[in-house]
Amino acid sequence: MSEKIKVIYILGSGRSGSTLLDRLLGQSSHSFSVGELVQVWDKGFEKDMLCACQQPFSQCSFWQVVIAQLSREFPPEDFVRMAEWGRQTLSFRELRGIKVPDFYLKRTLALYQAIRDVSGASVIVDSSKSALYAYYLSLIPEIDLYAVHIVRDSRAVAYSLSRNKFLYTLNSQEVYMAKLKAWRSAIHWILHNLSVDVLGSLISINFWGRVRYEDLVQNPEFFINGIMSFSDAGTPKKFISDHIARLKIGHNIDGNPMRFNLGDVTIELDKEWMSKMSLLDRTIVTLLTAPLLIRYGYIWR
């Protein structure tokens, strides 16, 4: 019997620093970060969007081998079904309960097995963030799941989601990240963070704990080494010095544009929202998210 597939899974809401944490955790020779893997069926197999290596998914040297391995096991129509399932998993509006047919779990396992086989890494870093998807992974006996919850000030998240943020150009078409109004961002932030508590009540999980984005950028080595040690994934060779991280090429699917960054990258706090967010939006988000802001230690700053 082969060893279990070790997965470090990042929970939380969008625009909370999950891509940064994903990239940093993926710098060890033992680990391999894949970004938001729940999105790979839709944005990779179906829509052929850009990999972090700057190549379309179907032309990426890494994903080509993964695709070939999976294609030997499953017919093309299975990939279409998986893409639809992935979209449903991410949508609170289309949530159909926590039961999931073996069809989806078997193909999910095959995906992680292929990534481990092709990458040669003993640890896969997945920043899908969805608590429901983490629950599904916990149902797969062959996966050894370790989780970390990243949070960021709700007002910073809302401001980021309000901007027209350029992602990349593919086939002469510009792709931008999704935008949300302030109140929708606040609800999005609440649902995703509270769902982590729900997850904890449903399963027994190897849970490292919660890390605030603001603390991560202040002391990245402390958190990266702690999470890697907790998951018994080895400690990366020193790649961060004076808040500059030297990042190797990645093959992340979806996420913040910083997934494309390579080489020396400065790790610094993004606090533009403090001076540029409108008073109205700031008030709306603060009022809606106040209980969790207090719980996470943001208070009323």
Q: Considering the chain, what is the average pLDDT of its residues? A: 92
Mean pLDDT value across residues 271-275 = 95
From CA 99, how far away is CA 77, in angstroms rounded?
22
Domain membership of residue 22 (yes or no) is yes
CATH number of the domain within which 25 lies: 3.40.50
pLDDT band at 236 (very low <50, low <70, confident <90, very high): confident
Q: What angle do CA 274, 275, 280 make, to 5 degrees?
A: 80
Is the pLDDT reported for residue 261 higher than 70? yes
Convert the pLDDT of each residue in 145-196 to its tens digit.
999 999 999 999 999 999 877 776 666 677 777 889 999 999 999 999 999 9
Is the pLDDT reported for residue 95 higher than 70? no
Domain membership of residue 211 (yes or no) is yes
Domain membership of residue 103 (yes or no) is yes
Tokens describing residue 85: 């399932």
Mean pLDDT value across residues 188-210 = 92
Domain membership of residue 242 (yes or no) is yes
Q: Are 38 and 90 in contact (CB under 8 A)?
A: yes
Residue 208 backbone phi and psi in degrees, to 5: -70, -35
Mean pLDDT value across residues 121-150 = 96
Q: Are 1 and 12 in contact (CB under 8 A)?
A: no
Is the pLDDT reported for residue 23 higher than 90? yes
Domain limits for position 195: 5-295
Domain membership of residue 301 (yes or no) is no
Q: What angle do CA 233, 237, 239 make, to 5 degrees?
A: 120
pLDDT of residue 62: 98
pLDDT band at 96 (very low <50, low <70, confident <90, very high): low
| Number of domains comprising the chain | 1
Domain membership of residue 300 (yes or no) is no
Is the pLDDT reported for residue 97 higher than 60? no
Residue 275, CA distances (Å) to 29, 155, 187, 216, 293 in order: 40, 12, 23, 22, 19
pLDDT of residue 12: 97
Tokens describing residue 93: 């509006």
pLDDT of residue 234: 79
Which of 82-96, 122-136, 225-239, 245-259 has the weakest average pLDDT?
Answer: 82-96
Q: Are 50 and 283 in contact (CB under 8 A)?
A: no
Domain membership of residue 261 (yes or no) is yes
DSSP of 76-118, one letter per residue? HHHHHHHHHHHHHHH-STT---S---HHHHHHHHHHHHHHHHH
pLDDT band at 73 (very low <50, low <70, confident <90, very high): very high
pLDDT band at 1 (very low <50, low <70, confident <90, very high): very low
Domain membership of residue 75 (yes or no) is yes
* CA 231 to the chain's CA centroid: 17
26 contacts: CB under 8 Å, gap ≥ 6: 32, 33, 125, 250
Mean pLDDT value across residues 205-218 = 96
Mean pLDDT value across residues 13-35 = 94
pLDDT of residue 174: 74
pLDDT band at 5 (very low <50, low <70, confident <90, very high): very high
Residue % of the chain over a pLDDT of 90 = 78
Q: Are 109 and 2 in contact (CB under 8 A)?
A: no
From CA 211, how far away is CA 296, in angstroms rounded?
9
Is the pLDDT reported for residue 301 higher than 70? no
Give 234's DSSP letter.
-
